[in-house]
Amino acid sequence: MEIKLTLNGERIVQDIEPDLLLIDFVRKNGCYSVKRGCDTSNCGLCTVLLNDKPVLSCSVLAMRANGAKVVTLEGLQEEAKPLATFIASQGAEQCGFCNPGFMMNTLALLKENPHPSDDDIKEFLAGNLCRCSGYEGQLRGIKNYLNYLEEKGNE
C-alpha cells in the first residue's frame, strides 16, 4: 500500500506493508533519534510529533500517518539544541538514551503551554522512562530552559 506524508519537512511517498509501525517507517527513513525501548508504549523513547501532537510511534501503524506531518528530533535540531544544553548542564543526560523522548515531549508541551508549572511538566513527561537519573535533573534542566526563554523574550 502507498503512504504519502511529510517527514521533517520532506514529502515522502513509499510503498509499505500494512502492518508497518511508524517507528520502523521513520527509522527506515533515517530518523535514528526515534528509539525502540519497551515495545509496550510505556517508555516514551519512540515519541514523534504527528500533526504537532506527541505520539508513541511504536504503537501507531505507519498508515495512520498517511497525509500527515511527522516530525522527529532530527526535524527540530535548532529548536532542541538549547534544551539539550540545559538538560546536560544538570547531569541529566547520563546515558542519553531517553533524551530524545524527553526533548520531543518538552517541545510539544511548550507549544501547547509556554508557561507550564512544575506539575504541568511532570504530568506531560510522565510517560518518559529514564533508568539513570531520577528525573530531577531533567526537571531542573527544563526549568532553566524556561527561564532562558523568558529572559530571551524580554530582551
- What pLDDT is stored for residue 15 in this prediction? 98
Q: H helices then E strands: how many in the chain?
A: 5, 5
- 64 and 6 within one domain: yes
Domain that holds residue 53: 2-74
Name the band, by pLDDT with cuts 50, 70 and 90, for residue 7: very high
- What pLDDT is stored for residue 32 in this prediction? 96
- 91 and 70 within one domain: no
Boundary-marking domain end, from 39, 58, 74: 74
Pick the closest to residue 98 from 48, 24, 34 (CA basis): 34
- 53 and 16 within one domain: yes
Boundary-marking domain end, from 34, 52, 74: 74
- 99 and 82 within one domain: yes
Q: Which residues are CB-contacts of 21 (< 8 A; sequence separation ≥ 6)? A: 57, 58, 59, 60, 61, 62
Name the band, by pLDDT with cuts 50, 70 and 90, for residue 153: confident
- 114 and 143 within one domain: yes
DSSP state of 133: S
Q: What would the pLDDT profile of 53-78 be if each residue is shown by its tens digit?
A: 999 999 999 999 999 999 999 999 99
- What pLDDT is stored for residue 130 in this prediction? 79
Domain of 88: which CATH number? 1.10.150.120
- 87 and 62 within one domain: no
Domain count, the chain: 2
Q: What would the pLDDT profile of 90-119 be if each residue is shown by its tens digit?
A: 877 777 788 888 889 999 999 999 999 999
Half-sphere exposure of 145 (CA within 13 A, CB side): 27
Residue 3 φ/ψ region, left for φ over 0, alpha for ψ in the -120 to 50 degree band, beta for the rest: beta
